Amino acid sequence: MILLLSIFHVAATLGLSLGIICLVILGIWRTFETCKQGVNYLKHLHEIPCSQCIYFTGNYQLKCTVNPIGALTEEAIGCPDYEPTRKQTAIPSCRRAGWKNPPYYQVKALLKR
């Protein structure tokens, strides 16, 4: 009888230990997976091109002069109207030379009125 109880005790202890170890491993794995998902989502959000776009105003009331609803959202990824600011060119409808970011300054001046 004592032998049976001893075997049961050892088996229960081993089972409990294995269960705890499995839970710890599962917790670490889920934490790692969640961090990986978070990093991937952040990388995806960094694909939003609006902050480098010539049509981005920097004003939260009118974020974009071309696509105001989709600006700064995931909808803007792959936006067909994207024009990089680094080219330092005027927009086609505004041919005034020397303006670095005409839409931004135009909208800012309009909002001050």
Q: Are 102 and 90 in contact (CB under 8 A)?
A: yes
For ligand SF4, the closer of residues 13 and 51 by Cβ is: 51
Give, as ranges, the residues between 4 and 43 that touch ligand SF4 (CB under 6 A): none
The C-alpha atoms of residue 42 and residue 19 are separated, in whole angstroms, by: 34
Contact call for residue 53 and ligand SF4 (CB under 6 A): yes
Tokens matching residue 35:
């961090």
49 class by beta-carbon count within 10 Å (0-12 exposed, 13-18 middle, 19+ buried)? middle
Contact call for residue 104 and ligand SF4 (CB under 6 A): no
Q: Contact region for ligand SF4 (CB under 6 A) — 9-17, 25-33, 64-72, 96-104?
A: 64-72
User: Which residues of the chain form contacts with ligand SF4 (CB under 6 A)?
Assistant: 49-50, 53, 55-56, 64, 66-67, 70-71, 76, 79, 81-82
